[in-house]
Chain A
Amino acid sequence: MADFFAFFIPWEFSWLVQIAIWGSLWLYWRGLKASTKRPGFGSRLAFIVGLLLIYLVTQTRFDYWSQYMFFVHRGQHLILHHMAPFLIALSMPAAVFAAGLPVTVKAWFRQRTLLRGWLLSIYAFLQHPAIACLLFVGLIYFWLTPSIHFDAMLNLRLYWLMNWSMALDGLLFWWLMLQRGQPGITPRLNYGLRILLLVAIMPPQIILGARLAFSKQVWFDVYAVCGRAWPLAPLTDQQLGGLLTWIPAAMMSVIAALVLLRFMLQASSHNLPINASKQATLP
C-alpha cells in the first residue's frame, strides 16, 4: 500500500507540468459548463485520459524509471509523443477551451492583433504537412542521437526540454491529422493526403526502432554511466527500447488511418463533403 502511494510522489516535481495539466482540466470543465453543444462522452473521456497519461509519465515514479532505464524512457516518449496527444487531439477540445476561457482573456487576446498574427503564422508554418512530418520524425531522431541523448539525460533542463518538445510536437501532429468538421485555424487536409502522411512517417520509425532492436552494440552509455534503476543487461534494455520505438509507435499510424477511414464513412453517410474545407488543402 505504501508503495502504491509512493508511486504518485513526483520524482522531479514541475510546476509547469502541474499548472499545464490541472489548468487544462479546469479550463475544459469550465468550457463544458458554458457550452451548449457539448462533446460526447467518448470525446470527454479521450481528453481526460490523454491528459492524465501525460501526468502519469512525468509526475510520478514512472519518471524515475524513465530516467534510469532506456526502454522505460522509450515508453515514456511513446505516451508523450504518440498516445496521449493522439487521444487529446481526437477529442477536439479547442471549442470547449474557447468556451471555457474567461471573457476578459478572450477580449485581451482579440485586441492583440499583432501577437495573434504572429502566433497564427508560426502555427500555419508548423502545420504545413511537410514540416509537421519532418518535425514528428526529426525530433525522435534528434533526441536519440547518442551525444545529444547523453546530455539530455544528464542535465535536468535539457531533459525537460526534450519531454516538452515531444509532447507539444505530438499535439501539433495529431491535431493536424485528426481535425474534422467546420474549418478553423488548423488546415483541414484531404483525408487521402493525411493517410499518405501517416504512412510516410512509419518507415523512418521502423528503421530506427529495428536498428536499435537488432544492434549488437550499446548506443546509449548514459544509462551505464548514471546507473540503471535495477540490474538489467544493457543490450536487453536497448532491444526492448528498440521494439517500443518500432512496433507500437508505427502502429499508431495504422490506428490513426483506421480512425480517418471511419470519419470518411461518417462524412459520406451524412452526405457531407469529405473534405470539409473548400480552402485548399495544401498551402
Chain B
Amino acid sequence: MRPLQLTIMMATVLLLSACQSDYDWHGKDISGLMPDLAFELTDEDGNSVTAEAYTDDVILMYFGFTYCPDICPTALAKLAAAVRKLPDAVQQRTRILFVSVDPDRDTPARLNEYTAAFDPRMIGLTGTQKQLQALTRRYRITYGYEQPNSDGNYNVSHSSAIFAFDRQQQVRLLQRDDLAVQQLYEDILQLSTL
C-alpha cells in the first residue's frame, strides 16, 4: 500500500472513531479537560479525608455553603432526588460530596445536620482555606465572600455546577444546575456503568 493511501485510510479511521460518541450526556463532557479527583479535606466527623476514601464510588461533587439561601438547597435536593431514583445496588455505590467553601461557619457538626436533611449518601466536607483553594483551583472554579453585615451575615459566591466522577475517580461531567432530576438520574446511571 502506498504511503498516501495508508495515510488517508488511517485518517478516516481516526475521524470515524472521533465522531462516534459512546454516550449521550445531558451534562457537559469534560473528560480529559480536567484532572482526576484528589483532595484533602475534613469530613462531617471532623476526620481528615482524601479522595481515596471514596474509590469505587460514582462521585457527585458540589460546592456551596449551608447558609446559602436558594441555589445550594435546590441543586442538592435535585441531586438527592436523582440518586434516590437509582436502583439500590447503584445507590450504594454513589456519593454526593457537598464541599462547603465557608469553613468559618460550616463546622463538621453543622454540615452533618445539613446533609442528613437531604440524603444519607450525602457527605459534607470542608477544610482550611489552603485545602479548599487547592481543590477549587484544580477544577478552575473559585469562591469569594461578601463583607459581613451588622448581624455578621454574609453571602458567598461559589460554583453552581456539579462535577461528576466515574468509579475510577476520573472526571467525566460538568452538570449545570438547570438540569432536571430525570436528566441528572440518567447521567448518573450511565456513569455507574463505566
Contacts and interface: CB of A to CB of B under 8 A. Distances in A.
Interface of A: 64, 67-68, 153-156, 221, 224-232
B33 interface: yes
A71 to B, nearest CB: 14
Contacts of A68: 142, 144
A230 B156 CA distance: 7
A224 B160 contact: yes
B136 to A, nearest CB: 7
B159 A229 contact: no
Interface string B129-156: 0000000100011111110000000011
B146 A227 contact: no
A229 B146 CA distance: 10
A230 B146 contact: yes
Listed residue (B136, B141, B155) with the most chain A CB atoms within 10 angstroms of its CB? B141
Interface string B88-126: 000000000000000000000000000000000000000
Contact of B160 (A154, A155, A227, A229): A227
B142 A227 contact: yes
Contacts of A156: 140
Listed residue (B140, B141, B143, B155) with the most chain A CB atoms within 10 angstroms of its CB? B140
Contacts of B33: 154-155
Contact of A227 (B155, B157, B174, B176): B157
A67 B158 CA distance: 14
6 contacts: A64-B142, A68-B142, A68-B144, A221-B176, A229-B142, A230-B144
Interface string B16-52: 0000000000000010010000000000000000000
A224 B64 CA distance: 12
Contacts of B141: 225-227
Contacts of B142: 64, 67-68, 226-229
A153 B145 CA distance: 21
A229 B157 contact: yes
Interface of B: 30, 33, 63, 136, 140-146, 155-161, 174, 176
A200 B88 CA distance: 63
B118 to A, nearest CB: 21
Contacts of A153: 140
A64 B98 CA distance: 24
A224 B174 CA distance: 13
Contacts of A155: 33
Given A156-B140, A230-B146, A225 B160 contact: yes
A227 B132 CA distance: 13
A153 B34 CA distance: 13
Listed residue (B30, B157, B176) with the most chain A CB atoms within 10 angstroms of its CB? B157
A227 B136 CA distance: 10
A227 B30 contact: no
B20 to A, nearest CB: 21
A224 B30 CA distance: 17
Nearest to B160: A224
A86 B185 CA distance: 52
Contacts of A221: 176
B141 to A, nearest CB: 4
Contacts of A64: 142
A259 to B, nearest CB: 39
